[in-house]
Amino acid sequence: MRIQSILRKAADEGRASSAPAVHSAEERALALRLLAMPDVFEAAQAKRAPNLLCDYAFSLAQEFSRFYSEHHILSETDANLRSTRLALCKVTLDSLSKSLNILGIEVPARM
């Protein structure tokens, strides 16, 4: 996944992430999608509808793609902004990995 590559490069460069923060519309949309995860998981379990997890994972990947296409992450010169964007990447990766794992889909280390 692209997210893993970003986080791997950040770690190689000694760049750490902090708590996620919202500075733009794309970051807000991604954060809101991330916050929807518990509700989606609960609904998928209650309705026995794994397609809800599939839809969630797909929409989360789309939101991350929008965020990534609009913002610099590793090349961001503001260290605080770079750190919060890396945190959003990490939370997104964790959420996608968890969703796909529940669906029985293996997440490759590299694409």
Number of domains composing the chain: 1
pLDDT in tens, 6-54: 777 777 777 666 666 778 999 999 999 999 999 999 999 999 999 999 9
Kindly state whether residue 108 falls inside one of the protein's structural domains.
no
pLDDT in tens, 47-103: 999 999 999 999 999 999 999 999 988 888 888 888 888 989 999 999 999 999 999
The predicted structure's pLDDT at residue 16:
63
Q: How far apart are CA 37 and CA 57, in angstroms?
A: 9
Secondary structure, 3-state, 37-68: HHHHHHHHHHHCCCHHHHHHHHHHHHHHHHHH
The predicted structure's pLDDT at residue 12:
76
The predicted structure's pLDDT at residue 2:
67
Q: Could you list the residue range(s) of the whole structural domain that residue 17 is in?
A: 2-102
Kindly state whether residue 40 falls inside one of the protein's structural domains.
yes
C-alpha dihedral, 11 to 31 to 3 to 38, nearest 10°: 100
